[in-house]
Copies of this chain bind each other. A is one copy, B any other.
Amino acid sequence: MIELTDLARQTGIQYSGRSIAISALNTLADAQPDELSFLQNKNYLAQLETTKAGAVFVTAEMAEHVPLSSIAVVVDEPYLSLARASKLFAPALIDVDAPLAVVGEGSHIAEGAHLARGAVVGKNCIIMPGVYVGRGAVIGDNTVLHSNVSVYHDCRVGTNCIIHASAVIGSDGFGFATTKSGTHVKIYQNGNAVVEDDVEIGACVTIDRAAFGTTLIKEGVRIDNLVHVGHNCVIGEYSVLVAQSGVAGSTTLGRNVVLGAQGGMVGHITVAPFTTLAARSGVTKSIAESGKTFAGFPLMEHKLWLKLQGKLARLLKS
């Protein structure tokens, strides 16, 4: 917890109004009365007007839209101020005072695996050499972490999971605010990543932790090698991400979505359950109707993509 007045002072903001204790940063939609949020993009104005956040960074122009239950902290660049404030809430990577890691019965922790103080490993797990499990991270029963897997602090992996070598769970999301002079200010990624039960994750896969809240890989998902999942994504149950595909931040997939090899999705969209995306698909808009098959970039229905290739073949002969 940090007093709003202290937070303002430490982030270089002129502020002399009322103070409350702030426990975390969060989005307008999810923030609680002891949390601080921000409005940068006017598209989220409706969210500002109904936010439960205890305080909000806003520009002077938008201050009148802050609800009475919330404190308006007027700044020139709300997103930049948020970035500067985020460092104050970054959890420690290491806790030398935490108890030694707890390991359940029947688990094999190989020599050369590193369980941080404050980590928990369930029963009948196999933790191979070079694995790192961070402070506050929890690994469920019967899970196998292959060599050189990293599970960052505060992340969770469910039961009966298999994570292949050099995969990374909970690295920082790609978040920063850019100043007028072109330098970047890191938005500390204070959320976590959670992998539910019965998930298999391939080698050299990267799943970023959330800026706020949780990046979520739901039950039964299958992720192939070298796949990237951005911060705050939700990958629906039994979805399949084929090799070298990527999902940008804050995108939500329904259950049993298939993203083909080398496919990609932009951030902040929603993809309906049972959607199939051919290899190299590039998804730039939400998909509302479930059960359809798409291809191409720009994306189109797969049968249209085939038709387009026919048209191009004819164009080539013309």
Task: Spell out A's residues near B (CB within 8 Å).
Answer: 93-94, 108, 110-112, 114, 116, 126, 128-130, 132, 134, 144, 146-148, 150, 152, 162, 164-168, 171-172, 174, 176, 178, 182-184, 186, 198, 200, 202-204, 206, 208, 220, 222, 224-226, 228, 230, 237-238, 240, 242-244, 246, 248, 255-256, 261-262, 264, 266, 274, 279-280, 282, 297-298, 300, 304, 307-309, 311-312, 315-316, 318
Contact = CB atoms under 8 A, between A and B. Distances in A.
A224 B168 CA distance: 13
Contact of A315 (B174, B225, B308): B308
23 contacts: A112-B132, A128-B132, A146-B152, A146-B171, A148-B150, A166-B168, A168-B225, A171-B202, A174-B243, A176-B200, A178-B238, A182-B237, A182-B255, A182-B256, A204-B206, A230-B243, A243-B246, A244-B246, A246-B262, A262-B262, A279-B282, A311-B315, A311-B318
Contact of A204 (B94, B166, B186): B166
**Majority secondary structure, A binding face:** loop
A126 B96 CA distance: 13
Contact of A130 (B111, B114, B162, B280): B114
B128 A130 contact: no
B183 A204 contact: no
Contacts of A297: 280
Contacts of A304: 316
Nearest to A316: B308
